[in-house]
Structure 1
Amino acid sequence: MQIPPLDDHARDEALQQLDGLVKPVGALGRLEHLAAWLCAAHSQVPPRPLDDVRVVVFAGDHGVSASGSVSAYPRHLTAAMVRVFLAGESGVNVLAREVGAHVRVLDLAVDDPLDDVPEPVRRHKVRRGSGSIDVADALEPGQARQAFDAGTTAADTEIDDGADLLIPGDMGIGNTTIAAALVASVLGLPADDVVGTGTGVDDDGRARKVAVLDQALARAAADDPFAALTSLGSACAAATVGFLVRAAERKVPVVLDGVFPCAAAVVAREVAPGAERWWVAGHRSTEPAQAFALKALGLEPILDLGLRLGEGSGAVQAVPVLRNARAVLAGMGRLADLG
């Protein structure tokens, strides 16, 4: 896939203008680099306003959660949380309202028919649930590509509707196990290095997650991105990969959230090298797999608040920082104009 480059000329012009503002050179730190990144993405100085921010929460169940050994919460909570999103009462709903962002939920593989929810949440259903990755492939042949295409469609829908900035969120009990599996597989890391506490499991729970992941990595043959998604991923992971790739293809900036979107980003970079230039990391998760993913992607999180909720909730909180970065370049006076 051909990923367009960012505009280095616009970046250089932005950095030059930032040095000439009414402040010491470099005094606004990361804000200056973020402003220059936005200019490179928009090919103009100052960059366009980030007025229309869209969060797309990819929802799905994971077979690895069926035994209850990898999460502090039961599997049926995934479907319950979809209903909470639609009621506007989840963490990401509340935080998104504070920054004027819109939240959409896409059901890729929730193990519930969700007959009582509006049709838009069901339109990308690939399957119900997935295989337990320690003993079976997560997806059937062809389903990873089907879910990937659903993700590209989701990105196209938001971009065609005017999105200035995209945020992929996630919901699914067992998500951190799937994310750790993908990061370990793509980056060649052992299970014990990438497994965290997820929803808050204790030391025994973490040990069970490591054992599950050891079995999954020993079983799976993941020699290309779609093989990894099929063997160790999920429909919502594959859809997130498609979402990220399409955003980069269409030159729309993305703010990554926690471990699950960052794991998908590692896979997406394998599908479309260079796509990572169009993404920034919204926050630092407490999950070790995210730290490995960010290092591989060359991304430094904007915020570090000890968050582990998911849903897109951390990335949403980085939006005001990006808006402030733009405002600095667009509104500050110039040293040359001082009397």
Structure 2
Amino acid sequence: MTMTFQTLAELRALLSDLPMPDPAAIAAAEARNGQLTKPPGALGRLEKLAVWMAGWQGTEKPRADRPQIAIFAGNHGVAAKGVSAFPAEVTVQMVANFTHGGAAINQLAKAFGARLDVHALDLDHPTGDFTEGPAMTEAEVVAALRKGFEAVDPQADLFVAGEMGIGNTTSAAAIATALYGGTGWAGRGTGVDDAGLRRKEAAIAAGVERNRALLGDPLQVLRALGGREIAAMAGAILGARMARVPVILDGFIACAAAAVLDRAAPGALDHCIAGHQSAEGAHARLLEKLGKEPLLALGLRLGEGSGAALAIGVVKGAVACHSGMATFAEAGVAGGG
């Protein structure tokens, strides 16, 4: 993408002037939907999905032939507090697995014809432990945001951001706590036991208290409590908006990244749909805060963009029906308005 940013202030300027969907394309798609060979509303949410795609793609007949999945990986200093069931070196090992095609997301990308890109973000240098101070400097968070922003292919017709990072459900829960308040945002993530969950809750409370002076600004929340991969996902979601590429949101961690943008600029997620509701306890609560109804609910808690990747198939089905079906007039079927 040609546009970029060097500071958080420049990113805020982008957020203040976001592209909007094409109203003429929406009207044309709605008119076409009313003439397709089916009873009105018979395809349920698929009809709204197709019209939503049409608005962002600026065409009466949207497509989903070039989906892109980008996986961002980062390591977290807070992992040293024992908040995960797995050691930090698993992040590096899983990046190798993604690269060699052995992970679940590789299979799902192939199944739905998606390009898959993997971005490892300075894995040898974990973010700072946010219980002791901000996780990232402004330069570090901007670099991660830009990595995501620039990872979006503007020729893609659908985008999914996924993640890998031991400790990142702790970071995501801390972000949600800072953005929305309350308690209970921590879940079991990779499967921590009761003692691990208590350590996680304690780390989140300590991080929020330690960084309280920064938490009035959503972008500073991201800097203070986030990880490089979470920042990169936020940057990618913004990059997709600037390129008018529709986005399918993945699970709790991806939605925490998206929530930063939503709080920074209401309406920043209008180009996003929720791919699924994961088994991570607070994901349903976070989706409610974002005003997003998930397409699927299959009990997934893998991350990697896997739930959103599955939802690519639903979107493909929606646009295939909308753009490929005959109208009553074309088919010579009585019943068109």
TM-score, normalised with respect to structure 2: 0.89
The structural deviation recorded for 1:196 is: 1.1
Match runs of 1:70-109 below 5 Å = 70-109=83-122
1:54, 1:170 → 2: CA distance?
14
Q: Does structure 2 retain, via aligned residues, the 8 Å contact 1:167–1:312?
A: yes
Q: Secondary structure at the match of 1:109?
A: coil
Aligned residue for 2:282, secondary structure, equals: helix
Determine if contact 2:250/2:276 at 8 Å carries over to the other structure: yes
Determine if contact 2:73/2:120 at 8 Å carries over to the other structure: yes
* 1:144 equivalenced with 2:141 (yes/no): yes
Unaligned runs of 5+ in 1: 112-127
1:251 aligns with 2:244: yes
Q: Distance in 1 between matches of 2:194 and 2:31?
A: 51
Q: Distance in 1 between matches of 2:19 and 2:217?
A: 23
Code of the residue aligned with 1:206 in structure 2: it is L
**Equivalent in the alignment of 2:23:** 8
1-structure distance, mates of 2:29, 2:138: 47
Q: Percent identity?
A: 41
Q: Name the counterpart of 1:60.
A: 74
- Contact 1:183 1:292 (C-alpha < 8 Å) held by counterparts: no
Structure 2 counterpart of 1:45, from 36, 60, 84: 60
**Do 1:59 and 1:106's aligned partners in 2 also have CA atoms closer than 8 Å?**
yes
- Greater CA deviation, 307-316 or 204-213? 204-213
Could you tell me whether the CA contact under 8 Å between 1:53 and 1:164 is conserved in 2? yes
Kept in 2, the 8 Å contact 1:179–1:289? The answer is no
Q: In structure 2, how many angstroms separate the alpha carbons of the residues matched to 1:292 and 1:5?
A: 27
Q: Distance in 2 between matches of 1:205 and 1:273?
A: 35
Distance 2:177 2:122 in 1: 23
* Number of the residue aligned with 2:306: 313
1:257-287 superposed Cα distances (whole Å, 9 cap, x missing partner): 1111110001122344422011111111122
Per-residue CA shift, 1:77-100, capped at 9, x if unaligned? 001111111111011011111111
* Correspondence for 1:332: 325
> 2: CA distance between counterparts of 1:195 and 1:93?
28
Q: What is residue 121 of structure 1 aligned with on the other side?
A: none
Give the residue type in structure 1 aligned to 2:144: A
Shift of 1:130: 1.1
Q: Partner of 2:190 in structure 1? A: 199
Instruction: Check conservation: 1:70, 1:177, Cα contact below 8 A.
Output: yes
> In 2, distance between residues paired with 1:166 and 1:147?
18
Question: By how many angstroms is 1:288 displaced?
Answer: 3.3
Q: Which residue of structure 2 aligns with residue 292 of structure 1?
A: 285
Contact 2:57 2:157 in 1 (8 A): no
The reply to whether residue 130 of structure 1 matches residue 130 of structure 2 is: no
The normalised TM-score by structure 1 is 0.88
Contact 1:109 1:236 in 2 (8 A): no
1:28 aligns with 43
Distance 1:292 1:184 in 2: 12
Q: Kindly provide the amino acid, as one letter, of the partner of residue 45 in structure 1.
A: E
Q: Secondary structure at the match of 2:121?
A: strand
Alignment of 1:226-245 (within 5 A): 226-245=219-238
**Amino acid corresponding to residue 193 of structure 2 in structure 1:** D
| Amino acid in structure 1 at the alignment position of 2:132 | V
CA RMSD of aligned residues (A): 1.6
1:260-275 aligned at under 5 Å gives the runs 260-275=253-268
Question: 2:159 & 2:210 partners in 1: Cα distance?
Answer: 35
- Aligned counterpart for 2:161 among listed residues 154, 160, 168: 168
Give aligned pairs, total. 315
Larger displacement relative to structure 2 (309-318 or 230-239): 230-239
Identify the range of structure 1 (141-150 vs 78-87) with the bigger mean alpha-carbon deviation.
Answer: 141-150
Letter in 2 for 1:83: A
Check whether the contact 1:62–1:174 (CA below 8 A) recurs between aligned residues. Answer: yes
Distance 1:272 1:145 in 2: 17
Query: Deviation of residue 175 (structure 1)?
Result: 1.1
CA contact (8 A) 2:160 2:309 kept: yes
Mapped to 2, the partners of 1:53 and 1:17 lie a distance apart of 24
1:225 maps to what in 2?
218
SS of the residue corresponding to residue 103 of structure 1 reads strand
Structure 1 residue ranges, 4+ long, deviating more than 6 angstroms after superposition: none
> Which blocks of at least 5 consecutive residues in structure 2 are unaligned?
1-13
Q: CA deviation at 1:107?
A: 1.4
Contact 1:60–1:171, Cα closer than 8 Å, also in 2: yes
| Structure 1 letter corresponding to 2:26 | R
